[in-house]
Chain A
């Protein structure tokens, strides 16, 4: 496993001048330097580990700004963190420094049902916000699988997706305005009406352009009705073709998810009875809207699935059955992660009609490198998560995983795709950035980064590769 850095393991970091100054600003109990506390912020959902020097828990936008000014004075790297559920190593403090934990800033400041707006602090979880919105018949639409625990600030930093983004779009379409603390420690307001969409730049910037301290969100009415189908296949590619067929027929369901054999078996074994164990693949297809409209769509979708070779198409009859299907789907990453000491998750996205080809490529790469690859996909968006369970202590296996990763990324790019659809680049996908972008494209992004953060203190070493002598 990666090593915690040794330079900052020593006791006595509580005498760090930065920590002392932070204590003056935030109060002693909101600044932690004990080893145990720092250990807790050394990693995220990916498993890479590196110790920060100090962890601070600011309670307001002004305090965040103060923390950034202090970090700048001491030229200390800053990594912002919510729940740490990201799947790309984005919140691992690889250069030590200051971790800003925003979980104390978890208030809903206002909800305006008439104008469909909510103003929230970044530390509130997606799940809790949606609990508050439900009784009003409203929702914040992005629904990453970790929505019960992940924060809105994290959703914004990663431009998070989720199953229902097929119909509703990813996070950036649901954020109207942001208050951001800049690297210089100033608070600025960025809105989608600005001449330059700096709001759109900050969304998905993985903590490299500023710290979101407040967000104005666009709310969506909860659909009047929803129906969910589970289509079962004894051929993975038939499932892939069904996805393309549904889109080509001009139907955009609310969600269109694919699970392959490995996933189905593991999910079933974890106790989710709705999923078949024998099948090669299953599609979860959900339509929503006015109840009067859903029958037509369900009929059309079912016909396409059967025509492409579905062996069974079951509709969830009750809300409980429907919820069970989604619980199983959301549990997927956890189930996979428990099945092995370590999992490598990809997030490749291809143009939608390339999905069947991409599924074939992944299967072929798995065979070539002797690896078991389990794939789950937000299939309607062409977004796949091939996931490889492996043992990181086995260096040979580790090398094969690295090569397979490179091959999957190359295949996705050959098909006109993107190396990441929703998980972000973080640390894990830095090699893919070089595969995907030309030097001049990377230089342009680096120039934009430097415009926001001239000293390179915001989440350094993430998102953009830094070649020798380069940016």
Chain B
């Protein structure tokens, strides 16, 4: 089903049993909720460096809407993915190297909970410690706690310039100091630098000294295309601890097992676990 409004989506959740969101491959009898019609900006507030979008908006559309205001969301996930998918999975996001995880770039969420109730989590302020940080809990939870219907994003001024380089991997620590975004294909690094023109020029100079070569920005598109559907085991702890040029966290049909504490939290937030049920039995923690 493709709801046209958040209320329609909430009603569908209320009436459905188990719900699979987006491309989640649940069991055959599951109710399928497709949010792609719930797309577009709700509010853009340049003076606060924030903007609210519906979850079905693609990353490309988010960027197109922000550009005229000189605004930018530093989460540079694949452009054809929806905001909801990026938030539900928490990535992948090459910009994690320079800007930190997706969770750091969301101020608030509008979610639909088990039973179909709508709820605001977080808000629109940069700092907020009132109660528990449920916004972060939902981001990266694989859509298992509720449906993300809209999100208020924390933004930055758009960098005046960006450049993309390919580097050999051996100087990775020095590279990561200069990189805004970084991906790794097993032997080379794909790096983006950004900032004011003189900053970018300085960074390019330092990276070329390390053997880097400037390439057109389309290198990212090629990279995404090649990496589509690919899953990288966390076999390279060096990478994952410095800023994670990881392509994926987990396969969309097989989440990692949850700890006992996490299962209790899931039962507290989404009683009965109606969202994104596993195609097979979920592996549970001993």
A interface with B by C-beta (< 8 Å) = 114-117, 158-159, 161, 165-166, 169-170, 172-173, 176, 182, 188, 192-198, 200-201, 203-205, 209, 221, 244, 247-248, 250-252, 290, 292-293, 296, 349-354, 378, 381-383, 416-425, 429, 432-433, 436-437, 440-442, 444-445, 447-452, 463-464
Contacts and interface: CB of A to CB of B under 8 A. Distances in A.
B243 to A, nearest CB: 9
Interface residues of B, number: 63
Contacts of A383: 125-127
A115 B145 CA distance: 32
B202 A196 contact: no
B264 A349 contact: no
Contacts of B265: 196, 198, 201, 448, 451-452
Contacts of B140: 195-197
Given A201-B136, A248-B46, A429-B130, 14 more contacts: A116-B242, A165-B127, A169-B100, A170-B129, A195-B250, A197-B136, A201-B134, A252-B49, A382-B127, A418-B129, A420-B129, A420-B130, A423-B129, A437-B130
Nearest to A206: B129
B157 interface: yes
Contact of A201 (B100, B133, B144, B177): B133
A251 B123 contact: no
Q: Which 8 A-B pairs have the closest CB atoms?
A: A250-B157, A353-B47, A200-B136, A421-B127, A451-B268, A447-B268, A451-B264, A418-B128
Given A115-B238, A447-B268, A200 B123 contact: no
B262 to A, nearest CB: 5
A447 B131 CA distance: 12
Interface of B: 45-50, 70, 100-101, 103-104, 113, 117, 119-120, 123-134, 136-137, 139-142, 144-145, 156-158, 173, 177, 196, 198-199, 202, 234, 238, 240-242, 249-250, 255-256, 258-259, 261-262, 264-269
B202 to A, nearest CB: 7
A417 B119 CA distance: 17
10 contacts: A196-B265, A200-B137, A247-B49, A349-B127, A354-B48, A436-B130, A447-B269, A448-B268, A452-B264, A464-B131
A418 B123 contact: yes
A290 B131 contact: no
A161 B133 contact: no
Contacts of A173: 100, 104
